[in-house]
Structure 1
């Protein structure tokens, strides 16, 4: 079977994708290529890149908005529950742990 091809757009200053299993560096490729379980459950429409994918000019990396600012993306979530939701979502998607995106690149 022929592998599927997908084009994603990543910020020019984003760090390169780490090796599979290496520490997350905020390259954003995972969220640009496919919605995570949190996004699929709570964000609509299910587009790529994920609409909660946030670029940080200061840190020169991507962040998950569902982890850093959940109430910004889930309008019905009170801001005082951001810390709780953030911990829950971070654990649910194993954010900032290891790279779990197995992709091949072509230029």
Structure 2
């Protein structure tokens, strides 16, 4: 492996029950890879972070998939100053995160 490939590798903890990542362009299946890698633009605002897993990302035991807390209406992780905007964020989140457009994550997954 060359130095560039090694530098591009990251370790991300993903639940073993999570579905496999779909091919780019396919519908989102809740694998969580994109949000576990870094927050989307609205996730950066809500999470107050630019790197690492988005704090809005939640694991849903019932469906065995990751979901966006902004879409589910779970506002507990929102910063206090942003909580009054929670209803607006929830209504806008689908568009802001391009939900339903298709997977745009080009990362590859390797098992440990």
* Displacement after TM superposition at 1:70 (Å): 5.1
Structure 1: segments with no counterpart, 5+ residues: none
> Which residue number corresponds to residue 2 of structure 1?
4
* Length-normalised TM-score, structure 1: 0.83
* Displacement after TM superposition at 1:47 (Å): 4.2
> Which residue number corresponds to residue 28 of structure 1?
32
**How far apart, in 1, do the equivalents of 2:66 and 2:54 lie?**
11
Structure 2: segments with no counterpart, 5+ residues: none
**In structure 2, the residue corresponding to 1:35 is in which secondary structure?**
coil
Instruction: State whether structure 2 residue 94 is matched by structure 1 residue 86.
Output: no
- Select 2:44's aligned residue among 40, 63, 86: 40
The answer to whether the 8 Å contact 1:67/1:90 transfers is yes
How many equivalent residue pairs?
A: 105
**How far apart, in 2, do the equivalents of 1:45 and 1:18 lie?**
26
**How far apart, in 1, do the equivalents of 2:34 and 2:23 lie?**
12
The 10-residue stretch of structure 1 (50-59 or 66-75) with the greater mean CA deviation from structure 2: 66-75
Moved runs in structure 1, 4+ residues, more than 4 A? none
